[in-house]
Structure 1
Amino acid sequence: MSEQLDPGTTVFFSLSIDGESLGYFNECEGLSAQVETEQRQEGGNNGFVWHLPTRVTYSTIRLTRPLTPETAQVAKWISSVTTGVTRPTAQIQALRADGSEVVSWGLIDVLPVSWQGPTLNSSSPAVANEVLEIAHHGFTD
């Protein structure tokens, strides 16, 4: 019998923008989509109301990690928005401890919407974390 890997066990996540790696993150929140619907009643049908899809909305995605050398690449990407908006594709991979992939998500028209740097305080040392928030227009292969 072949060994099966637990598909739900992930340890870290990688993010790449148009094939360029922005490094690894230890938290990823907001991978979600919601289909908005319109309700329509059908004459003579009292058993249910039709729910018709109108549009799909996608939440922003928040990626968190300890400060790394890749932080400079994140800052460069955010700064590039001031010289003109290009909306690249992105890839988020959920990875196991051994680096094998559990699943990946392709994102269309990605835009950085927020970056929060670490709080640095020498009197109470702690892990210096950064948070990157990105918006997108949907999922792709």
Structure 2
Amino acid sequence: MPMSTPPQKVLLEDTATAVGLQYVVTVDDHQLGRFASCEGLGLEVVLETREEGGFNTGVWQLPTRVKYPNVKLSRPLGAQTESVMRWLSTVSQGLVATTASIEARTTDGTKVVTWTLRGVVPVRWTGPQLTSDQTKIATETLELAHHGFTAGV
């Protein structure tokens, strides 16, 4: 009679740490604080399609360049908003590409992963819509363009 293999244990350690994250953002020497959401971390390889005569089983897809989407960080309005405004006021005096780090941390402060972006430039900051007739949470969003990740990621 063949021996059966015991059921595999599913490890939840990696997924358990990725629940309820906050994103701590630093741009060069400017601590911008913790953000509640982070969208747009990624890259896309742009492909050029070429058809070759005599090669009838497919087409060639040639990589041409890498594109990086803008990163959008959002959070409720708070005291850390002032740090973003201080950084943006220095940017308005001359646009210089900088380096930013985004640390994903659990709610107890444990670091999960850090992404370091090079050539970071602020694209847009939007604050809350200030109306007294609504009871929504006031939020801010910071959008950053970048030229890729550093090799340490």
TM-score normalized by structure 2? 0.81
For this pair of structures, how many residues does the alignment match? Answer: 140
On the 8 A contact 2:26/2:102 being kept in 1, the answer is yes
Q: Which has the larger radius of gyration?
A: 2
The answer to whether the Cα contact below 8 Å between 1:66 and 1:129 also exists between their aligned partners in 2 is yes
Q: 1:39 aligns with which of 49, 56, 61?
A: 49
User: Please, which of 100, 109, 120 is the counterpart of residue 90 of structure 1?
Assistant: 100
2:62 is the alignment partner of 1:52: yes
Any stretches of 5+ residues in structure 1 without a counterpart?
none
Q: Sort the Cα spacing of 1:40 and 1:7 in 2 relative to 1 into closer, same or farther, 3 A.
A: farther
Q: Does 1:24 align with 2:34?
A: yes
Query: What's the RMSD between the two structures over aligned residues?
Result: 2.0
Establish whether residue 4 from structure 1 lines up as the match of residue 46 from structure 2. no
2:77 is equivalent to residue 67 of structure 1: yes
SS at match of 2:119: coil
1:135, 1:101 → 2: CA distance? 24
The answer to whether the aligner puts 1:103 opposite 2:113 as a matched pair is: yes
- What letter matches 2:46 in structure 1? E
Instruction: Give 3-state SS (helix, strand or coil) of 2:84's partner.
Output: helix
Specify every segment of 5 or more residues in structure 2 that has no aligned partner in the other structure, as ranges. 1-11
Give the partner amino acid of 1:113.
V
Distance 2:39 2:117 in 1: 14
In structure 2, the residue corresponding to 1:109 is in which secondary structure?
A: strand
2: distance between equivalents of 1:10 and 1:68?
19
Q: Deviations over 1:8-37 (max 9, x none)?
A: 324211111114320001011111211111
1:63 shift after superposition: 0.6
C-alpha separation between the residues in 2 aligned to 1:124 and 1:45? 63
Write the deviation string for residues 54-102 of structure 1: whole angstroms up to 9, x where unpaired.
Answer: 1111111111101122212211222223321111100111111211122
